[in-house]
């Protein structure tokens, strides 16, 4: 695996594969790789001929009060893990390569970016995500880009960017990878102390409670959310939000009907801000 720092080097490294008609897969990451990221790399390895993993802690998606300075960074470790999972290229540009002097363009996605994570983290969060992912897609020119379902709203925002801007790439969203007790894998799990780690399973228990309520015949979104919140309260965790929404638009759902519904939750536990979600399918099955 080669590590590349500049856009020019990246394009040169991919030119032969593109010329030969080989497919290119991109896995965008902010580093601090864990099994969730590595599952995306392995999926890219199975589905495409050349796998690029980008490693860039994107300052544009952090609010001034968030953890940009303390976000975990260990490029050597990440490079070793990415190579073992099947990456061919690690694209690890410095900030100035991505945002050169005078950079003044922002990609803004209305609607789907505004509730939940957008409301909690501010409008600039998804502007930063949409802008950097658009740049990465243009830099690498992949045939397929791979994202995790844990960041469901982020994936929805990116799908909208690709659709609205006619970008020639397919977005593949892969299942959330979990710890044995159900906690969704996240780089920010490293912030959890021992007691906090035990309480962090409240998010997954809330999702399970929502699914159980639907299986039992409940169709009112308010009642389903109340059951999920009650499960979190047992572990003394108060959600920032817990909502039932349309998985494409993220607009609230009032009743479970004949369409899939996403249950999304976020909570702060100590220093860690955690998010999770799952889909309740129209037949009542969770996925």
Q: Catalogue the active-site residues.
A: 37
Query: Which residue matches tokens 């992912």?
Result: 133
177 known member of a binding site: yes
Name residue 72's beta-bridge partners: none
Q: Which residues pair with 244 in a beta bridge?
A: 263
Residue 31 known to bind ligand: yes
| 110 annotated binding-site participant | no
Q: Which residues contact residue 188 at a Cβ distance below 8 angstroms, ignoring those fewer than 6 apart? A: 67, 272, 273, 274
In what helix (H) or strand (E) does residue 52 lie, and over which residues does it extend? strand 50-55
8 Å CB contact between 116 and 243:
yes
The response to whether 187 counts as a known ligand-binding position is yes
Q: Among 52, 84, 56, which residue's Cα sits nearest to residue 169?
A: 52
Annotated binding-site residue? 254: no
Q: Is 104 annotated as a binding residue?
A: no
* 32 assigned ligand-binding residue: yes
User: 240 by DSSP, 3-state: which?
Assistant: strand
148 among annotated binding-site residues: yes
Measured CA to CA, the distance from residue 227 to residue 78 in angstroms comes to: 39
> Count of H helices and E strands in the chain?
10, 9
36 in a known ligand binding site: yes
Look-up of token digits 């991919």: 14
Tokens encoding 118? 């957008």
The closest of 95, 157, 96, 165 to 123, measured between CA atoms, is 157
Q: Please check if 139 is assigned to a binding site.
A: no
State how beta strands 239-245 and 261-269 pair.
antiparallel
User: Does 281 carry a binding-site annotation?
Assistant: no
In this structure, what DSSP letter does residue 177 have? P
Which tokens is 129 given?
Answer: 């995500």
Between 221-233 and 202-215, two packed helices, what is the crossing angle to 10 degrees? 140
What sign for the dihedral angle of Cα 163, 160, 287, 281? negative
Summarize the annotated binding site for (R)-pantoate as residue ranges: 61, 154
Q: Known binding site: residues?
A: 30-37, 61, 148-151, 154, 177, 185-188
Would you list which residues are annotated within the binding site for ATP? 30-37, 148-151, 177, 185-188
Annotated binding site for beta-alanine: 61
């Amino acid at each position: 695996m080669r590590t590349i720092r500049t856009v020019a080097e990246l394009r040169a490294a991919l030119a032969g594969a593109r010329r030969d008609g080989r497919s290119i897969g991109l896995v965008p990451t902010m580093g601090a790789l864990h099994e969730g990221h590595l599952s995306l790399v392995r999926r890219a390895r199975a589905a495409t001929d050349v796998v690029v993993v980008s490693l860039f802690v994107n300052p544009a998606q952090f609010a001034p009060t968030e953890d940009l300075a303390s976000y975990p960074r260990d490029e050597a470790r990440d490079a070793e893990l990415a190579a073992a999972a099947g990456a061919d290229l690690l694209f690890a540009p410095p900030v100035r390569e991505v945002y050169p002097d005078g950079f003044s363009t922002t990609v803004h996605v209305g609607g789907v970016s505004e509730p939940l994570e957008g409301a909690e983290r501010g409008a600039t969060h998804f502007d930063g995500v949409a802008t950097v992912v658009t740049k990465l897609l243009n830099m690498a020119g992949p045939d397929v880009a791979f994202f995790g379902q844990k960041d469901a709203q982020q994936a929805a925002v990116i799908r909208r960017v690709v659709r609205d801007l006619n970008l020639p790439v397919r977005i593949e969203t892969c299942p959330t990878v979990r710890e044995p007790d159900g906690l969704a894998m996240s780089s920010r799990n490293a912030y959890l102390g021992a007691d906090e780690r035990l309480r962090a399973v409240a998010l997954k228990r809330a999702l399970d409670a929502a699914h159980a309520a639907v299986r039992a015949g409940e169709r009112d979104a308010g009642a389903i959310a109340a059951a999920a919140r009650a499960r979190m309260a047992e572990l003394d965790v108060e959600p920032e939000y817990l909502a039932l929404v349309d998985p494409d638009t993220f607009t609230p759902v009032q009743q479970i009907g004949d369409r899939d519904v996403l249950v999304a939750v976020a909570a702060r536990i100590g220093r860690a801000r955690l998010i999770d979600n799952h889909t309740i399918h129209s037949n009542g099955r969770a996925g």
